Amino acid sequence: MKTYTISTSSSPTAGGTTSGGGDYTHGSTVNLSASANSGYDFVNWTEGASVISTSSSLSFTATSDRDLVANFTVTCSDNLHLNNITITGSVPDYEAKYNIYAAESSATFVVQSPNGNVTFAAGSSITLYPGFHAQSGSGFRAYIGGSCAAKEDPLISFQEPECLSDCGNYRIFPNPSSTGIFTLEALRSDQNRKIVAIYDFSGRRISYTEFSMLTHTTINLSAQEKGIYLVRIISKDNSETLKIIRQ
């Protein structure tokens, strides 16, 4: 009796698993099942460009070879609270309809070097608290979009140390500051022209200043809301990103 091969796969691979594929004799019943992994929802079964079923369980009679794909989508939570997480490789995007909060209170969220790679996407805001850290050589990207899966221009993207107060070449004090007044001081002599750009964690640039030579300068965030800000110092040879807190 003729035998047919029923192949199954998941798209994306991280979205879930399938069962029931294999070799079947002509006229026998095939029972397939798809199971979504945490953070994903099942969408449908497809074969080529055709949607076969929107049920995770699929039964049919074997009459030919078939190649079926179980499709999954990221679960759209209203808000995500990401605490005490360490990223060591590439992982599925963290997506939320409205807000993402990482490393709240005394928790941590660490993107480890060299292979850690993660993306945040939210509809309204992304807040990274002091326990958030992306190590040198790791990858972190953040997007604001209109829906769970929407991604627009990257708001935050860095692959270098994120430092609090002292990053080696510069220090900022006091940090945190209850007044919003900070002093940025160069710890090493450098004659190169510098650009100092300050961003809030919605990705909005607060200020952009060029210096022919930077020894020290005042950062005034007294008119800004309380929260975490990024200070990026850029020269022709390197750049550093420091994190400051306006209390």
What are the residues facing 118 on neighbouring strands? 140
Rounded to whole angstroms, the Cα distance separating 19 from 238 reads 51
Q: What pLDDT is attached to residue 162?
A: 46
- How many C-beta atoms surround the C-beta of residue 140 within 10 A? 24
- How many C-beta atoms surround the C-beta of residue 239 within 10 A? 14
Q: What pLDDT is attached to residue 167?
A: 53
Burial class (CB in 10 A: 0-12, 13-18, 19+), 89: exposed
Domains of the chain and any CATH numbers: 3-74 (no CATH), 77-158 (no CATH), 162-246 (2.60.40.3080)
Per-residue pLDDT of the chain (247 residues; tens, 9 = 90+): 899 999 999 988 878 899 999 999 999 999 999 999 877 889 999 999 899 999 999 999 999 999 999 998 877 778 888 899 898 887 767 888 778 888 888 899 998 988 888 888 877 778 888 888 888 888 888 877 644 644 444 444 433 444 444 456 788 889 889 999 999 888 877 677 778 888 887 777 788 788 777 788 899 999 888 888 888 887 766 677 888 888 8
- Model's pTM, two decimal places? 0.43
Q: What pLDDT is attached to residue 97?
A: 79
Q: What pLDDT is attached to residue 2?
A: 93
Long-range contacts of 208-215 (CB under 8 A, 24+ apart): 214/184, 214/186, 214/190, 215/185, 215/186
Reference 196, options 156, 155, 235, 148; nearest CA is: 235
What are the residues facing 11 on neighbouring strands? 71
> Taking a C-beta distance cutoff of 8 angstroms, is the pair 71, 146 a contact?
no
Torsion of CA 5, 6, 11, 17, to 10 degrees: -110
Q: What pLDDT is attached to residue 236?
A: 66
Amino acid in position 104: E
Rounded to whole angstroms, the Cα distance separating 121 from 94 reads 6
Rounded to whole angstroms, the Cα distance separating 223 from 205 reads 14
Rounded to whole angstroms, the Cα distance separating 233 from 171 reads 11
Q: What pLDDT is attached to residue 30?
A: 97
Rounded to whole angstroms, the Cα distance separating 228 from 222 reads 13
Q: What pLDDT is attached to residue 62?
A: 96
